[in-house]
Structure formats: C-alpha cells, structure tokens
C-alpha cells in the first residue's frame, strides 16, 4: 500500500508539532550569582490556586478529542490504561506540573462532560498555532483552527461566565467553578509556536520564515499582555524546541540530503530558525517584564537543554531513543499509532512497543510519558529558565 501523506498528516500530525521531537531534556546547570542564590533560598514557594494553560498537543488534555474524536488505543495505556485525551501513552508535562503544585489534572475547556474547573482550565488544542493559518494550511497539515488568539478569547468567555455563574450558584454548585478572586493567584502557562515554525519551514523559504518571526513573537507577547490586563500575574512561557531533530522529519522525508543535516542527524536549517525565534522571544519577554510592573514572567528555554540529548539519550535511560514506540514504520509503509491498514494484502496494526519507558518518541510526533517525566524533572526546577527559578516560585518577580 502506498503511503498517503494526507491521511498521515490528518492522523498523527494533526495533533501538532509542539513536542514534535520530544527527545527529552538534558539537564543544564545554571550558574547563579550569590545574591540571587540567597534570594531563592529565602523565597517561599508560591500558593498557586489554579493553572490556566494555553498551547497545542504538547499540553492538550482533551480538547482535540472533544472536537475531532477520541484517540484510539493504545494511547493512554501506560498511566490511564485507556485513551485519556492526551497524545501520549500517559501523562504530559502539564500533568506533572499539576502534580508538583498539588493541583488536580486540568480539564480541557472544550470538554463539556464531567469537568471540574475549580483549580483551572486547559485551553490547549492539538495542532494549534500562534497565528491564524489559512484554510489550505489547515487542510494540508492538519493544523487546528484554534489559534492562540481564539484560546485567549475562550479564556475571556470562561472568566466572564465564571463571574456570572458564581453569583447565581449555591455552595454545592460552586465546587466546580473557579473562585473569581483567585484568577490573579493562578499560574498562566503558554507553550505554543512549534506548529507555526514547522509548517512555515515546509511552506516558506527559511529566509521568508525568518521574516515572519517578529510577528509571531509580537502576537504571543500580546497574549501575555491581555492576560495581564485580565488579572494574570505569574507567567511560565515555553520557547521553541529543536524541530529539526524530530523523528517525523525522516518519516515524511526519508531521503534528506546529508548536506542539510548536522553531525547529529538534525535538519540544521529548521533548528537555526527556531534558535532565532527563541532569541527574539526571550528579548521580548525581558522587555515585557519592564512594561508590566506587577508581572512575574519566566522564559523557559526548551531548546538548549533538549538538543544535547540527541547524542546522550542512552546514558539518560532511553536505549531505544531512535525508535518510534507506537505505529508501523517499515519498508516505506506507514501506519499511525492505533490505526490499521492493508499492506501487501495483509492487515497491519500500528501497535505500541513492549516498553514505552525505554523510548523517547511515542508516535513519531509526541513524547512518551517517560520522556515527559524526564522533561518535567529537569525543567521545572528552573535550570533552563530566565530568571532561573523553579516553577514553584514563578509567582515572584525578579528583575
């Protein structure tokens, strides 16, 4: 059976490229000045009452399945033992954040049944982008029509409705609603942009994509400003990942010329653009700290820690780092995770591997729970952040 690129991108790839390589993060030590270390020791942990998350498939906990239909088994098999609205075999980094902060897992805003928003809501949708994409891009790449500005509008509606319903509800009914006065005490996390970068690399020249970066950065910064005006004060903003190292590059382009790859087998041109995007994003967030006098804005560098793991994965506990765990990818045949197809007259099932914890890539686009956990353990401590503070202290402003 010939590989149908369209069906594949509308299957696995529509979940998004946000954690597209999900190779895990390599711990990078941060050298802090004595005064800053002293401040961190004296600073008390934040008492976050809620998390409001914005992003794509890297942190989507049910929006994609609410809108487009459920992920099939074996998604969710490791932790939830069934599909749980996540593009992985188990938990995502956002789930580990909730655990660390002592909060429940986030329900998706678009999920209408059995939801509880007392401690936050998740507006992330698989395939989401910072900027709105035209219909041809949405169709060709399976990109979500829910861009960041739409997620922000959904938050505005959510907050407005919360105030109205809270006034009308009795004590029992209020248990599933946020306390209106606590919106300013929540953590606002934004992890989006990789879909813009990857799709841009497939539809534009690299120079054209570079010219689009300032607009991407400005639109993300505008989202932060808007959330600040709505009462948000603590922001945890993720950078772009080294997309050129994603397994999906070799799935979709098995004959990449060697000259386009770096010494670790990553597509250099894409990674160079991501690096430039991250530089511009960091600079803009630093300026935003000065403009928003009461905001605590943390920039989280996902690129610098992730990239070294390309050559160090086995030493970090992932001996099958170069093998996609779920799906069938052999002899130019491609069967996405959980799907079935007829190949050479026989039915082939995109099954999962025997031990996902030994793999970094779950389905070629998204990470295994083991990789997500490794990321959480090595990033939430602040070692890849600016300022270099753990997420438990992200409510404190550092100049």
Candidate list 56, 366, 385, 386, residue with the active-site label: 366
The residue among 50, 63, 129 whose CA lies nearest residue 92 is: 63
User: Which is catalytic among the residues 59, 363, 378, 385?
Assistant: 363
What distances in angstroms separate CA 110 from CA 60, 121, 166, 184, 267, one per listed residue? 10, 10, 20, 22, 35
Structure tokens at 263: 């010494």
Is 177:118 a contact under the CB 8 Å cutoff?
A: yes
Q: Which long-range contacts (CB under 8 A, 24 or more apart) does 177-180 make?
A: 177/117, 177/118, 178/50, 178/117, 178/118, 178/119, 178/120, 178/121, 179/49, 179/118
Contact 258, 227 (CB under 8 A): no
- Cβ-contact 336, 73 below 8 angstroms: no
Determine the 3-state secondary structure of 268 from DSSP: helix
Whether residue 57 lies in the annotated active site: yes
| 119 is a catalytic site residue | no
The residue annotated as part of the active site, out of 57, 201, 239, 241, is: 57
Pairing mode, if any, of strands 328-330 and 51-55?
unpaired
Q: Is 149 one of the annotated active-site residues of the chain?
A: no
- CA angle (261, 238, 23) in 5-degree steps: 40
At 306, list the tokens. Answer: 């992730």
Report the catalytic residues.
57, 363, 366
């Amino acid at each position: 059976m010939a590989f149908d690129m369209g069906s594949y991108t509308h299957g696995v790839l529509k979940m998004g490229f946000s954690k597209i390589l999900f190779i895990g993060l390599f711990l990078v030590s941060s050298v802090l000045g004595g005064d800053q270390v002293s401040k961190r020791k004296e600073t008390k942990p934040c008492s976050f009452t809620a998390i409001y998350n914005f992003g794509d498939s890297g942190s989507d906990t049910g929006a994609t399945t609410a809108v487009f239909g459920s992920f099939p088994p074996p998604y969710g098999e490791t932790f939830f033992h069934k599909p749980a609205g996540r593009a992985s075999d188990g938990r995502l980094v956002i789930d580990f954040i909730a655990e660390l902060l002592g909060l429940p897992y986030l329900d998706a805003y678009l999920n209408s049944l059995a939801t509880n928003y007392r401690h936050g809501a998740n507006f992330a949708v698989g395939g989401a982008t910072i900027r709105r994409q035209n219909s041809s891009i949405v169709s060709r790449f399976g990109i979500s029509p829910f861009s960041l500005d739409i997620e922000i509008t959904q938050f505005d509606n959510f907050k407005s409705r919360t105030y109205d319903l809270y006034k009308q509800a009795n004590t029992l009914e209020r248990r599933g609603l946020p306390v209106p006065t606590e919106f300013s005490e929540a953590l606002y996390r934004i992890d989006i942009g990789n879909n813009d970068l990857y799709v841009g690399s497939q539809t534009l020249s690299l120079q054209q994509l570079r010219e689009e970066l300032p607009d991407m950065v400005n639109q993300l910064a505008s989202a932060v400003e808007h959330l600040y005006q709505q009462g948000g004060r603590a922001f945890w903003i993720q950078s772009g990942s080294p997309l050129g190292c994603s397994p999906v590059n070799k799935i979709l382009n098995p004959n990449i010329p060697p000259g386009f790859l770096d010494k670790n087998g990553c597509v250099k041109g894409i990674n160079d653009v991501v690096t430039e995007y991250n530089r511009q994003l960091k600079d803009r967030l630093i300026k935003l700290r000065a403009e928003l006098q009461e905001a605590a804005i943390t920039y989280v560098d996902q690129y610098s820690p992730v990239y070294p793991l390309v050559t160090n994965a086995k030493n970090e506990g992932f001996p099958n780092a170069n093998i996609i765990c779920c799906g069938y990818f052999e002899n130019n045949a491609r069967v996405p995770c959980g799907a079935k197809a007829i190949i050479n007259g026989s039915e082939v099932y995109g099954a999962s591997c025997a031990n996902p914890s030994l793999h970094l890539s779950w389905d070629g686009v998204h990470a295994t729970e083991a990789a997500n956990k490794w990321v959480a353990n090595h990033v939430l401590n602040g070692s890849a952040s600016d300022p270099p503070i753990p997420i438990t202290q992200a409510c404190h402003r550092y100049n």
